[in-house]
Structure formats: C-alpha cells, structure tokens
C-alpha cells in the first residue's frame, strides 16, 4: 500500500432513466480514482419532486446498494423479489454473473424523492457466482462523539451490519449534530465522506453540498465540523486491487467480458432472467463504443 493523498471530488450531473428521467449527482467513479475500497459507483439523487421509473435492466460483477432518504422505491428482480423500500432500509442486490431488476416510485404521482444508489465491485472469485437479493429493515444504529448513524454495510463503532459483503468495507449514513464530531476509521481502509445535505469541514478542508472528500489509508479517525445538523455518507474499504472495466450496467475485467454481457442481454439470455410486471418492457443496451474498452486505472490516490 502506498501512502495516498486526501482530495476533494466534485459531483457531475448525469441523466438517469431516459429523457424524462431524473438527474443524478455522481461522485464515483472519478477519472483517476475508480474505486474507494470496493465501492465503485456513488449516485446521489434529489431532493426532487419526481417519479422514479427505471425499467428492467441487467447487472453483472457488482452489488447494488439502494438507500432512500425520502420517498419509497418498489424493487422487482429476476429472482422474484418484489419489495417496497422506505428510508432507513437497505436493498442489496448481488448480481454475480447476471441478474435484472426494475426500480419505480410507489404511486402514480410525483413525490419528494431523495436517496443514494451505490455499487460495490465483486472480487474475482465472486463476480461470476450466483445472484442474490437482501432487504434489510433492521440495521444497527451506531453513535459516537457528535454523531449518530445507520450502518448499511460492514462494521463501525462496535456494530456489524447483517448485509452480505464480499470484501472488507464499510458504508453508513451519519447524522451529525451542529459542532464537532469524531468519526472512527480503520487505518487499513481508504474512506470517502459525501456531503448529502449541507456542508462540512472534514479535517481542515470544507466540502460543499454533494462534494466528496477522499481520505487515504492510515488514520484511526477523522474530525468533522458542521455548522448545522448535517447528513453525511461514509464509505470505505481495503483498496481494491482488481482493474475494472465498467460500462453501462456491467463490471468486468476486459472488453470481451463486457461485449459478452451486452450480447447476452440483447439476446434475452437465461442468466439475466425476467422481471415480472412490466409487460416485457426492458431497457435495451446502448451500442458498444467504437474503441476497445480499457480498465479504469488509479492515478490520483
Ligand atoms: Mn440497476
């Protein structure tokens, strides 16, 4: 492990779910920083009055971590799951070698929506394994100096989440009281803190709303100051060694992995199954780019 450098990461705006879909604020991956631990994707949406309507689409090589802060999301997948997710609860879908799912708002009218969707890259020995789905409605409440939190994944402040992980990592929603908070970290992990609402002084660096602060390995804690009650996302993990090729909803290790995933989705291959309740409607894969896909390399941290 080389000594890394802390840095601030801006979000970029990405349309999700077609032209009438909502816009998300993406802070991971970044050019030069594909992962924080095995976390490889961080999307923050809302708060916005809208409806989520994401038709069936496939995944490979990853876990999807869905965490609403406002609004309800109905999840259906090719394993037969049909779950309404509400704030404070976690949906964790493990694609293994192939799964498909849909995510739609409950009801026919717009409502306040706010939330996070994250992906965790699966390690080499698990990425072609079986698919799975977990809905966790009773996650550990954790607390420390100046903060309380809900532990989504991994271990924090003496508690352990029941959610299944495949590499050493942590993910938590932290709610800070105005003033100073001390957040425990694992020295062997790299971490990142996202300002989900408000702003925060992380160490001596201010991050504004939707910005992320990357924290290199080697520290037992970080001090955060907030001027008002503020919600933060904490993610972290052991630096992920595999070089990932990420394209659309797939994570592989090579261009050919992705090309095979895409071809199988377009051919309705059995490994992606079917999501009931959408009259056969799906999201088709976009065309492959005209160049060979290459791994995202870490050059920043
Ligand atoms: Mn998805």
DSSP 92-140: EEE-TT-EEEEEEESSSS-EEEEEEEEEEEPPTTTTTS--EEEEESSPP
Average pLDDT, the chain: 95
Give me the pLDDT at residue 269, please. 97
Distance 212 CA to ligand 1 centre (A): 22
Distance 7 CA to ligand 1 centre (A): 28
Distance 28 CA to ligand 1 centre (A): 16
Buried b (16+ CB within 10 A) or exposed e, 8-19: ebebeeeeebee
Distance 133 CA to ligand 1 centre (A): 12
- Asked whether residue 118 is domain-assigned, the answer is yes
Instruction: Report yes or no: 75 and 276 within 8 Å, Cβ to Cβ.
Output: no
Question: Residue 70: pLDDT band by 50, 70, 90 thresholds?
Answer: very high
Distance 143 CA to ligand 1 centre (A): 31
Distance 257 CA to ligand 1 centre (A): 18
Contacts of 24 (CB under 8 A, 6+ apart): 13, 14, 15, 16, 43, 44, 45, 117
- Check: pTM over 0.85? Answer yes or no: yes
**What's the rounded mean pLDDT across residues 85-93?**
98
- Asked whether residue 285 is domain-assigned, the answer is no
- Asked whether residue 224 is domain-assigned, the answer is yes
- Asked whether residue 2 is domain-assigned, the answer is no
Q: Give residue-wise pLDDT tens across range 226-267.
A: 999 999 999 999 999 999 999 999 999 999 999 999 999 999
- Asked whether residue 243 is domain-assigned, the answer is no
Cα separation, 188 vs 170, whole angstroms: 12
Across 122-199, where does the E strand assignment appear? Answer: 132-136, 141-144, 147-153, 155-156, 159-160, 169-176, 179-184, 190-195
Distance 42 CA to ligand 1 centre (A): 12
Give me the pLDDT at residue 17, please. 63
Distance 168 CA to ligand 1 centre (A): 23
- Asked whether residue 292 is domain-assigned, the answer is no
**What's the rounded mean pLDDT across residues 103-120?**
92
**What's the rounded mean pLDDT across residues 17-30?**
79
Distance 157 CA to ligand 1 centre (A): 30
In the chain, the number of structural domains is 1
Distance 20 CA to ligand 1 centre (A): 17
Q: State the CATH number of the domain containing residue 181.
A: 2.60.120.10
- Domain range spanning residue 73? 11-237
Distance 144 CA to ligand 1 centre (A): 33
Residue 2 has pLDDT above 50, yes or no: no
- Asked whether residue 20 is domain-assigned, the answer is yes
DSSP 8-class letter at 271: G
Distance 101 CA to ligand 1 centre (A): 6
Distance 224 CA to ligand 1 centre (A): 32
Residue 125 burial class via C-beta count within 10 angstroms: exposed 0-12, middle 13-18, buried 19 and up: exposed
Question: Residue 143: pLDDT band by 50, 70, 90 thresholds?
Answer: very high
- Asked whether residue 214 is domain-assigned, the answer is yes
């Amino acid at each position: 492990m080389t000594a890394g450098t802390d840095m601030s990461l801006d979000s970029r705006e990405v349309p999700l779910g077609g032209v009438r879909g909502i816009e998300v604020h993406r802070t991971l991956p970044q050019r030069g920083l594909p992962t924080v631990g095995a976390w490889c994707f961080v999307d923050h949406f809302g708060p916005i009055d809208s409806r989520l309507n994401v038709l069936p689409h496939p995944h490979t090589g990853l876990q999807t971590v869905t965490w609403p802060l406002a609004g309800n999301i109905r999840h259906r997948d090719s394993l037969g799951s049909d779950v309404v997710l509400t704030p404070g609860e976690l949906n964790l879908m493990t694609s293994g070698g192939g799964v498909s799912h849909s995510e739609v708002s409950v009801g026919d009218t717009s409502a306040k929506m706010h939330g996070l969707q994250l992906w965790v890259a699966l390690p080499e020995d698990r990425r072609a394994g079986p698919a799975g789905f977990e809905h966790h409605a009773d996650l550990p409440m954790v607390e420390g100096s100046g903060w309380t939190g809900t532990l989504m994944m991994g271990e924090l402040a003496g508690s352990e989440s029941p959610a299944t992980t495949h590499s050493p990592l942590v993910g938590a929603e932290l709610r800070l009281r105005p003033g100073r908070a001390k957040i425990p970290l694992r020295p062997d992990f790299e971490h990142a803190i996202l300002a989900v609402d408000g702003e925060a002084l992380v160490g001596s660096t201010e991050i504004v709303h939707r910005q992320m602060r990357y924290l290199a390995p080697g520290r037992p804690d970080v001090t955060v100051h907030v001027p008002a009650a503020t919600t933060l996302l904490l993610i972290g993990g052991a630096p992920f060694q595999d070089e990932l090729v990420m394209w659309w909803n797939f994570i592989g290790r090579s261009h050919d992995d992705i090309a095979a995933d895409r071809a199988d989705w377009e051919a309705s291959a059995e490994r992606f199954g079917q999501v009931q309740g959408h009259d056969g409607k799906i999201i088709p894969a976009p065309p492959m780019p005209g160049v060979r896909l290459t791994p995202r390399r870490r050059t920043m941290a």
